[in-house]
């Protein structure tokens, strides 16, 4: 057997690593727990890791009992799943879904390392719009969680193209093995379709101007195939608006950053058909819950929350469900520890026995 050659880790300039690929300690939480705790204590999320949001509030509303059957519709890093498995105390079963073929394999291994075997946990590579098919095969669920946020692992990895802050291919697909990347979507949409997407998916105030510039430069043969190219386009458009260009440079950049976040969100929603997926999920949700079943949904922007609120209101009118009347928000302490929790809204539902 050929001896495996030792490979030194890549060196980086400066005191701390800046590139995602160089943050080897942050990406190995089991081995470098002290580093992970330091990063979290500073209000940051370690690279390649996802900090589960509103865990205590979720567990309170799900009221999990040993022996029950549950479903985590969005497995991600597995933080929520791990906490739910702990509540089962070795009895019952948790099923978990994820459309991302890259992260689901990592998380399956991570959860197995924590002592949760196949007798307690099953991960299924599928979109959570398919909960009806999952319930048909495994039965109805006593508790269910759907965390609609994008995983930090996807945001942090430049290869996935989810963040305007780091250079990478303009992809934005939850499943990079299916569908077309965001760069292709931009080529195939008209100005009117781009405007509609930016307004409907993220309420972007400069939708018209940004869409016009995207179409203009693409007609000239320029390609928008990286996160940096799209970010610079948005910055140029926003910072040259009459109501912004005379402001101090710092304020201009803040306006541009917000537009970048909204445009990338709108593109991500479109590329992954997120609203259509959520609509299908909400339509099927009542039928996959067992009598007395509890469900919690976490949303992260107004479009998602409106859909969940409307669906829950319609469920409650049937008399078969008890639903949350008010939205639950994360605490100030949690928002400090995990800034990505800021926009989270929690709504819950119970199917009456």
Q: Are residues 78 and 113 in the same domain?
A: yes
Q: What is the CATH number of the domain that holds 115?
A: 3.40.50.150
Q: Are residues 259 and 282 in the same domain?
A: no
**For the chain, first and last CA: distance in Å?**
62
Q: Are residues 134 and 91 in the same domain?
A: yes
Q: What is the mean pLDDT of residues 282-307?
A: 96
Token pair belonging to 74? 């969005």
Show which of 243, 271, 299 is a domain's final residue. Answer: 271
User: Is 50 exceeded by the pLDDT of residue 319?
Assistant: yes
Domain range for 288 is: 55-153+275-351
Identify the residue with better confidence: 184 or 160.
184
User: Is 90 exceeded by the pLDDT of residue 280?
Assistant: yes
Q: What is the mean pLDDT of residues 157-172?
A: 90
CA 139/CA 132 separation, integer angstroms: 10
Please report whether residue 94 resides in a domain.
Answer: yes
Please report whether residue 219 resides in a domain.
Answer: yes
Total Cβ atoms within 10 A of residue 156: 22
Please report whether residue 6 resides in a domain.
Answer: no
Q: Are residues 120 and 260 in the same domain?
A: no
Q: What is the CATH number of the domain that holds 264?
A: 1.10.150
CA distances from 116 to 59, 89, 95, 127 (A): 18, 10, 12, 23
Q: Which residues contact 234 (CB under 8 A, 6 or more apart)?
A: 164, 210, 256, 259, 260, 263
**Cβ pair 227, 166 in contact under 8 A:** yes
Q: What is the mean pLDDT of residues 202-216?
A: 96
Work out how many domains the chain is built from and give that number.
2
Show which of 255, 271, 287 is a domain's final residue. Answer: 271
User: Is 90 exceeded by the pLDDT of residue 102?
Assistant: no
Q: Are residues 149 and 279 in the same domain?
A: yes
For 223, phi then psi, to 5°, come to -110, 135
The answer to pTM > 0.95 is: no
Total Cβ atoms within 10 A of residue 237: 21
Q: Are residues 296 and 320 in the same domain?
A: yes
């Amino acid at each position: 057997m050929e001896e495996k050659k030792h490979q030194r880790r890549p060196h980086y300039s400066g005191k701390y690593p800046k590139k995602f690929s160089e943050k080897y300690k942050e990406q190995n939480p089991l081995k470098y727990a002290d580093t992970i705790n330091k990063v979290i204590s500073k209000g940051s999320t370690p690279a390649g890791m996802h900090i589960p949001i509103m865990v205590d509030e979720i567990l309170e509303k799900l009221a999990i009992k040993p022996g029950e059957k549950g479903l985590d519709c969005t497995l991600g890093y597995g933080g929520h799943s791990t906490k739910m498995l702990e509540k089962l105390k070795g009895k019952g079963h948790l099923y978990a879904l994820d459309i991302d073929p890259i992260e689901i394999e990592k998380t399956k291994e991570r959860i197995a390392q924590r002592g949760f075997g196949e007798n307690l946990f099953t991960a299924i590579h599928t979109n959570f719009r398919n909960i009806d098919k999952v319930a048909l095969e495994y039965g109805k669920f006593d508790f269910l969680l759907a965390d609609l946020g994008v995983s930090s692992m996807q945001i942090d990895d430049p290869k996935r193209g989810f963040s305007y802050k780091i250079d990478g291919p303009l992809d934005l697909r939850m499943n990079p093995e299916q569908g077309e990347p965001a760069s292709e979507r931009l080529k195939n949409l008209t100005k009117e379709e781009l405007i509609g997407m930016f307004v409907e998916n993220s309420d972007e105030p400069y939708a018209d101007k940004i869409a016009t510039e995207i179409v203009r430069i693409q007609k000239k043969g320029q390609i928008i195939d990286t996160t940096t190219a799209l970010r610079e386009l948005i910055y140029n458009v926003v910072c040259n608006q009459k109501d912004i260009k005379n402001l101090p440079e710092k304020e201009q950049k803040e306006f541009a950053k917000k537009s970048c976040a909204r445009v990338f969100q709108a593109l991500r929603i479109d590329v992954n058909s997120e609203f259509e997926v959520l609509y299908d999920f909400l339509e099927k949700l009542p039928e996959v819950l067992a009598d007395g079943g509890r469900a919690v949904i976490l949303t992260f922007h107004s479009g998602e929350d409106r859909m969940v609120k409307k669906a829950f209101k319609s469920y409650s009118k049937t008399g078969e469900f008890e639903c949350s009347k008010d939205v639950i928000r994360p605490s100030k302490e949690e928002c400090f520890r995990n800034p990505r929790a800021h926009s989270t809204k929690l709504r819950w539902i119970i199917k009456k026995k």
